Homo-oligomer: A and B are copies of this chain.
Amino acid sequence: MEQYSNILKYKHLGIYTQNENVVYMREDCHVCISEGFEALTRIRVSMANRSIIASLNVINSEILLPNEIGLSDAAAKKLKVKENETLYVSHLEPIESLSYVRAKIYNQKLNYNAYNQIVSDIVEGDYSNIHLSAFITACAGDRMDINEISDLTKAMIASGQQLNWNKEIVVDKHCIGGLPGNRTTPLVVAIVAAYGLTMPKTSSRAITSPAGTADTMEVLTNVTLSADEIEHVVKQEGGCFVWGGTAQLSPADDVLIKIEKALDIDSEGQLIASVLSKKAAAGSTHVVIDIPVGETAKVRSMEMAQKLQNHMETVGNSVGLNVKVVITDGSQPVGNGIGPTLEAMDILKVLKNEERAPIDLKERVVLLAGELLELSGKVASGAGRQTALQLLESGKAYEKFLAICKAQGRFTRPVLAPYKTEIRAETSGILKRIDNRKIAKLAKLSGAPQSKSAGILLNVHLNDSVEKDQLLYTLYAESQGELHYALEYKNNHNDIITII
């Protein structure tokens, strides 16, 4: 190969494509002509000591000169290339792990080695969005058995950093989403850390929901911390609430989650691998997992919940985690707020024991914190709930919460969004049903979680007696456009809240 002719000069184009590596070259550049590349071909782009694989987009305008090459921001960041530096492009050697993806598409079982190679290549950025989507789809819909889920989980743990806290017991909790407003995690951390246990909590951002724990906590404090910073916070306070992404714990998960979001799916195998790989990589030993069950929750039946419980506990054991699954009521949103800022406000009300604090949120928190205290073996069986309640009502949990926020860099009080509309009851009656999926969608259309203060503040709950014109909920948005769009959806769906 005439390597000389494959040299091009890097030009910053500033195109942000999220994770995908895209390379831009002129159709009349010497490399395109001599090598015969075509658009969407995958090629290798190299510097002296680093290289990436990228999808080619062909340029036929003046934004590049024939001897120049551009990269998407993600690709440029991975290569650490600077303006005018020299890049070398070459044909892509076959990505061997794609043969495993094809085998999975054709319903074959994969072993640890296969998942490990796939996950490594994903972390390297070698997979295009087309490949990632095929891998996720091929693994969805019950197509992974329990051994495969274990192997994928192990591969995901091995793909990134693994923390070691040098503690015998490191606790954690996780909620299988789908229940709007169910923001128990930061409260459980505060209680358990106040008790004296170690709980270095890493959370994801929202996949398909209006807020993830990381989105909500970002309203109150910094959640993007380095591994060193997290270690410091946990050593000092016993707990933290940070985003798991930058810590490079299970980095494949962060790539896969964005594709799952685009597809709006969250399959069992990927879900278990995602949750447990983050827990194990974070150095946890004892984990309580909350599965809310309800008609419109993520898990809709007891049968599904029990299957997930069984799989979670089995896979947990196989990767060295002591997992306890708690199945809870998922028939309606938890708390009053849906959306990062509004949920952060609920959290503070519970911590401060305010009269208007949402009781349902508080009840869940003491249940889960109690289970965790018992699972750790430090609190006697049956005494967990009461211990948790005391830590909350005494103000010790609030004190710990503020201390952790400050250790993470700041404590900021939440502020409501500038645009709002009140939605009132059109008839009197009993509130018989809240559609979790539709109310979550409404919150998302209002801008959550990207717009932190967007979302919904509920004034009613299931089985409430409601008068005509009574306030049901307030829609918040950060722009008129988003408020308008959410209202349009609301006006086209009269079954978000059902009053009979």
Residues of chain A touching chain B, judged by Cβ–Cβ distance below 8 Å, are: 1-2, 6, 12-18, 24, 27, 34-36, 38-40, 57-61, 63, 72-73, 91, 98, 101-102, 105-107, 128-134, 136-138, 140-142, 258-259, 262-265, 267, 445, 447, 450-451, 478-482, 484-485
A130 neighbours in B (Cβ, 8 Å): 129-130, 132-133, 259, 262-263
A27 neighbours in B (Cβ, 8 Å): 16
A262 to B138, CA, bound (A): 15
Interface pair B481/A91, CB less than 8 Å apart: yes
Interface pair A102/B264, CB less than 8 Å apart: yes
Q: Which 4 A-B pairs have the closest CB atoms?
A: A14-B61, A133-B133, A137-B137, A14-B60
Interface pair B133/A137, CB less than 8 Å apart: yes
A141 neighbours in B (Cβ, 8 Å): 105-107, 138
Copies of this chain per assembly: 2
How far, in Å, is A91 (CB) from chain B's closest CB?
5
A-B contact sample (19 more), CB < 8 A, given A102-B264, A105-B267: A15-B59, A16-B57, A34-B481, A38-B450, A91-B485, A98-B264, A101-B263, A102-B263, A102-B265, A105-B263, A129-B130, A129-B133, A130-B132, A130-B263, A131-B263, A133-B133, A134-B134, A134-B136, A137-B138
**What does DSSP make chain A's interface, helix, strand, loop or mixed?**
mixed
A480 neighbours in B (Cβ, 8 Å): 1-2, 34
A258 neighbours in B (Cβ, 8 Å): 40
A17 to B128, CA, bound (A): 13
Interface pair B479/A35, CB less than 8 Å apart: yes
A15 to B56, CA, bound (A): 10
Interface pair B36/A1, CB less than 8 Å apart: no
How far, in Å, is A134 (CB) from chain B's closest CB?
4
Interface pair B133/A134, CB less than 8 Å apart: yes
A478 to B33, CA, bound (A): 10
Q: Which residue of B lies closest to A24 (CB)?
A: B15
Interface pair A17/B1, CB less than 8 Å apart: no
A72 neighbours in B (Cβ, 8 Å): 57
Interface pair B39/A481, CB less than 8 Å apart: no
Interface pair B36/A134, CB less than 8 Å apart: no
Interface pair A140/B478, CB less than 8 Å apart: no
Cβ-neighbour of A15 out of B57, B134, B137 (below 8 A): B57
Given the interface contacts A98-B264, A130-B259, A137-B133, does A17 sit within 8 Å of B36 by beta carbon?
no
A142 neighbours in B (Cβ, 8 Å): 107
Interface pair B484/A131, CB less than 8 Å apart: no
Cβ-neighbour of A1 out of B128, B478, B485 (below 8 A): B485
A57 to B265, CA, bound (A): 22
A38 neighbours in B (Cβ, 8 Å): 450
A73 to B27, CA, bound (A): 13
Interface pair B129/A482, CB less than 8 Å apart: no
Q: Which residue of B lies closest to A133 (CB)?
A: B133
Q: Which residue of B lies closest to A268 (CB)?
A: B106
A35 neighbours in B (Cβ, 8 Å): 479, 481-482
Interface pair A36/B447, CB less than 8 Å apart: yes
A57 to B20, CA, bound (A): 11
Q: Which residue of B lies closest to A128 (CB)?
A: B262
How far, in Å, is A282 (CB) from chain B's closest CB?
27
How far, in Å, is A133 (CB) from chain B's closest CB?
4
Interface pair B17/A134, CB less than 8 Å apart: no
